[in-house]
Amino acid sequence: MGYTRPLTPGSLRVRNMVSADQFIQGFRFLPGYFDRSAQIDLLEALREAIAESPFYTPTMPRSGKPLSVRMTNLGPLGWVTDRDGGYRYQATHPVTGQPWPPIPAMVLDLWRKVADYEPPPEACLVNYYVPPARLGLHQDADERDFAAPVVSVSLGDSCLFRIGGRERASPTRSMKLSSGDVVILGGAARLAFHGVDRVHPGTSTLLAGRFAEGGRINLTLRRVTEPG
């Protein structure tokens, strides 16, 4: 399994010859964590959940401008944003009013294996990027518990992912994330600024036939409340 192998600079597809795990403590990149058959199983589990809890278009706080990424959530809490309520977690889908479906067992299993944090994740944000969708540089900072890492999974088309430091103006590195890759933001990297500059259309066949528009799906697992 990829995650048991020590990371070497050469294993990271990072520009400028500097690997992101050396660049920022607590950043881990597990390329190809899920093989093709596991990716298909994961996508099937997601399709069932998404049929119940469909993607919707969130809007920015204050301006009400729509995000280019569509979203839904799995788990007891889901991350949402809209003009009047801003960034927050809530237990129900903002459009259907229903509770979010449970996080699939495969995803909870990933957390148990890689998070090094015993309490389970409470939120699994599902982002759907159809080009030209992107996600600007941001911190994941709406949680009460920063001791837990953020664990993310890429499925479908590859993307150009950017990661920097704890200040917006900190220097950044860019790297390609491909289908099956896992990224962990823990330690000092837990509050690192990061974003998705672009998705490269047609670089994976995984979503074709399962999601008509192709593109990329990202799962972001987070612990929201402090345990206990």
Ligand X SMILES: O=C(O)CCC(=O)C(=O)O
Residues in binding contact with ligand X, number by CB under 6 A: 10
- Least Cα distance to 129 among 156, 152, 96 occurs for 156
The partner in contact with residue 161, picked from ligand X, Mn ion, none with C-beta cut-offs of 5 to 8 angstroms by kind, is: ligand X
CB nearer ligand X, residue 19 or residue 220: 220
Closest residue to ligand X, based on beta-carbon distance: 218
| Exposure of 22 in the CB half-sphere (CA atoms within 13 A) | 14
Tokens 């049929």, located at residue: 51
**What single letter denotes the amino acid at residue 81?**
T
E strands along the chain, which residues?
Answer: 27-30, 70-74, 78-80, 88-90, 123-129, 135-138, 150-156, 159-163, 173-177, 182-185, 194-199, 216-222
The footprint of Mn ion on residues 122-141 (CB under 5 A) is 140
- Least Cα distance to 57 among 73, 79, 72 occurs for 72
**39 part of the interface to ligand X, by CB under 6 A:** no
**140 part of the interface to ligand X, by CB under 6 A:** yes
The footprint of ligand X on residues 194-213 (CB under 6 A) is 194, 196
The partner in contact with residue 218, picked from Mn ion, ligand X, none with C-beta cut-offs of 5 to 8 angstroms by kind, is: ligand X
The partner in contact with residue 127, picked from Mn ion, ligand X, none with C-beta cut-offs of 5 to 8 angstroms by kind, is: ligand X
Residues at the contact surface with ligand X, assessed by CB under 6 A: 125, 127, 135, 140, 152, 161, 194, 196, 218, 220
